[in-house]
Amino acid sequence: MRQVLATAFAIEGGLLGDDVTIRVSGVCDDQNAMLMTELLLERLRWVSGRVLVDVRRLRGRPSLASVYFLMRELPLRQHPPREVAILEREALRAHAEFHRTTAANTGMCFMYFFDVDAARAWLFAGR
């Protein structure tokens, strides 16, 4: 059983206040990364088409080892059957690339953006 403070992170409607963007804020670390991912994937199940997940307000990231094992442990049935992009801070590009590659190795494909205008253009090109 996981113990995570209720205030550790929040997953909510994001940039545009609609269902195509999701904002994740708070703190992410090795202890809550799996729970956060499971809740995010549950939310993605209810959205059709392209989805943009903005994690720029999220403080901290799980270690690279945790990212690796997290992606391996997620059952394929939980992978979102849609196009997902993640909007991340430029300073975390190396971590984002590792996450993207590790996810792709398990069959979960998504892309990262580091510029909000490019992310919005991608989002609305699919609508």
Residue 115 CB-half CA count within 13 A: 4
Distance from C-alpha of 8 to C-alpha of 55, rounded to nearest angstrom:
14
**Which candidate, 116, 50, 55, 118, places its Cα nearest to that of 80?**
50
For 9-125, give the CATH class.
alpha beta
Cα distances (angstroms) measured from residue 50 to each of 60, 71, 86, 104: 26, 21, 11, 17
Choose among 40, 39, 106: nearest CA to 67. 106
Residue 67 φ then ψ, to 5°: -60, -45
Statement: residue 8 has pLDDT above 50 = yes
pLDDT digits (tens, 9 = 90+) for 47-103: 777 889 999 999 999 999 998 888 888 765 555 556 889 999 999 999 999 989 988
Q: Which pLDDT band, with edges at 50, 70 and 90, does 2 fall under? A: very low
Around Cβ 72, how many Cβ atoms within 10 Å? 10
